[in-house]
Structure 1
Amino acid sequence: MNQNRRALVVRGGWDGHDPVGATDRFIPALRDAGFAVDTADDLAVYGEADRIAAADLIVHCWSMGTLTADQEANLVAAVRAGTGFAGWHGGAIGTNVSNAAYLRMVGGRFLFHPAGFHDYTVTIDPAPVADGEITFGLEDFTVHTEQYWVLSDSYSTVLASSVFEEAPDAEWSEPVTMPVTWTRRWGAGRVFVCTLGHQVSDFDVPETAAMITRGLLWAARDRD
């Protein structure tokens, strides 16, 4: 195991997603895996090009943010050069919505969720796909949380999904499948995104915690 890797956790923004509490759930696993973990509570860290380029993993947990042109350029350049990028829920795809290069990199943008929390099934993709170690051994599971409708594209590898069922008062007239967990290559970098995680208690679901923990480790650059 490589003991010399660095993880940068960037957390803040809208506190309804509890960015500190959420990231604190996964920092111990990163340290156990040998990462030196640094945290930043200001998007200005993305102005430090050398600092983020030196990171082997960036965990972005910042809802409702906006990157400056320089911050966005530095972040995307670091990932293209090999820095891993990972995040979940609004902290990854409900943020930086005016930053087109960022959105292309993460491969999705939050558009809508029905009001409140709902029970729904997260379906694990059964196909033998690349990056399948993130969901290896996991079976379909039920969650009670927000369900995200996202804008995405076919470049990502979808590892898990959920279905918006048709309803009498819905605008859609048939079931609609949405990605829940996906991976993406961006240049030399790896990108991991999960739409779960509105509240810290979402991570009490073992399958959710496992997917995100594995996704963080998968995304990180391997200096070996």
Structure 2
Amino acid sequence: MSTRTALVVRGGWEGHDPVGCTEVFIPFLEAQGFEVAVADDLSVYDDAGRIAATDLVVHSWSGGMLTSAQEANLVSAVRHGTGLAGWHGGIIGTNVANAAYLRMVGGRFVHHPEGFQDYTVNISRSPVRDGEIVEGLDDYQVLTEQYWVLSDSASTVLATTTFAIEDGGEWAEPAIMPVTWTRRWGAGRVFVCTLGHQASDLRQHPTTTMIERGLLWASRSDRPERHRP
């Protein structure tokens, strides 16, 4: 079997600590046999052949904007089998003018309450597709940003959070938001987690486990049907 390859694309708004956050998982990927490359410039997506030959792209670039060619190359690569994974604003608070990218990742950040919130991450209980990513995990508390996202039914939701009714607020029922989801896009797989404002969020045990499993799940080389485009 050839060496598995992962490309970590990181940068953008420094408030999300793209370097520190991705460094949480690079040693894990290397221990799993990946040859990991790091790109600090979105121009890496100009190389269509490189992206298409990569088993896993970890996108951690808050507030970015892809050119039309970069977007087309990434979306095509995923459609043909390259895995895509990421967390927080690095994957859904970015490329907001890139409609094809947003359709592929299956969600867009639109709001979070001011400051950090103490809230529960609810793990899906019933049998669900890709449930092995959260198998054995229980609901848990976090203290971090709580993301309100726009999403669709093409994703499999593995964890949620609930925005309670607010006095004088705009919604009359509790609003349930996805925290972690998986998505098929052509022959590719996409994994998204909305947690991860800072590296300490990602080091919290249940979150770390979810993301590590999600990275492996998304990677083309972790699947029996592995193939090159």
The TM-score with structure 2 as length reference comes to: 0.95
Counterpart residue type for residue 82 of structure 1:
G
Match of 1:131 in 2: 130
Measured after TM superposition, the shift of residue 146 of structure 1 is 0.3
Measured after TM superposition, the shift of residue 170 of structure 1 is 2.5
Match of 2:53 in 1: 54
The CA deviation string for residues 58-117 of structure 1, in whole angstroms up to 9 with x for no partner, is 000000000000000000000000000000000000000000000000000000000000
Counterpart residue type for residue 33 of structure 1:
Q
Match of 1:45 in 2: 44
Measured after TM superposition, the shift of residue 174 of structure 1 is 1.9
The whole-number CA distance in structure 1 between the counterparts of 2:122 and 2:93 is 22
- Please say if 1:17 is aligned against 2:23: no
What is the 5 A alignment of 1:99-178? 99-178=98-177
Measured after TM superposition, the shift of residue 145 of structure 1 is 0.3
What is the 5 A alignment of 1:206-221? 206-221=205-220
The CA deviation string for residues 132-163 of structure 1, in whole angstroms up to 9 with x for no partner, is 11101000000000000000000000000000
What is the 5 A alignment of 1:73-112? 73-112=72-111
Counterpart residue type for residue 201 of structure 2:
D
Measured after TM superposition, the shift of residue 205 of structure 1 is 1.3
Counterpart residue type for residue 131 of structure 1:
D
State the number of aligned residues.
Answer: 223
Other structure's SS at 1:137 match? coil
Counterpart residue type for residue 174 of structure 1:
E
Counterpart residue type for residue 178 of structure 2:
P
The CA deviation string for residues 172-219 of structure 1, in whole angstroms up to 9 with x for no partner, is 222100000000000000000000000111023100111111101110
Instruction: Give 5+ residue unaligned stretches, structure 2.
Output: none
Other structure's SS at 1:174 match? coil
- Please say if 1:27 is aligned against 2:29: no
> Is the CA contact (8 Å cut-off) linking 1:3 and 1:33 kept in structure 2?
no
The whole-number CA distance in structure 2 between the counterparts of 1:207 and 1:174 is 28
> Is the CA contact (8 Å cut-off) linking 1:3 and 1:34 kept in structure 2?
no
The whole-number CA distance in structure 2 between the counterparts of 1:169 and 1:205 is 34
Match of 1:189 in 2: 188
Measured after TM superposition, the shift of residue 169 of structure 1 is 4.1
Other structure's SS at 2:220 match? coil
> Is the CA contact (8 Å cut-off) linking 1:3 and 1:35 kept in structure 2?
no
The TM-score with structure 1 as length reference comes to: 0.97
The whole-number CA distance in structure 2 between the counterparts of 1:156 and 1:193 is 10
Measured after TM superposition, the shift of residue 171 of structure 1 is 2.0
The whole-number CA distance in structure 2 between the counterparts of 1:154 and 1:197 is 23
What is the root-mean-square deviation in Å for CA atoms of aligned residues? 1.0
Instruction: Give 5+ residue unaligned stretches, structure 1.
Output: none
> Is the CA contact (8 Å cut-off) linking 2:24 and 2:203 kept in structure 1?
no
> Is the CA contact (8 Å cut-off) linking 2:8 and 2:36 kept in structure 1?
yes
The whole-number CA distance in structure 2 between the counterparts of 1:21 and 1:132 is 28
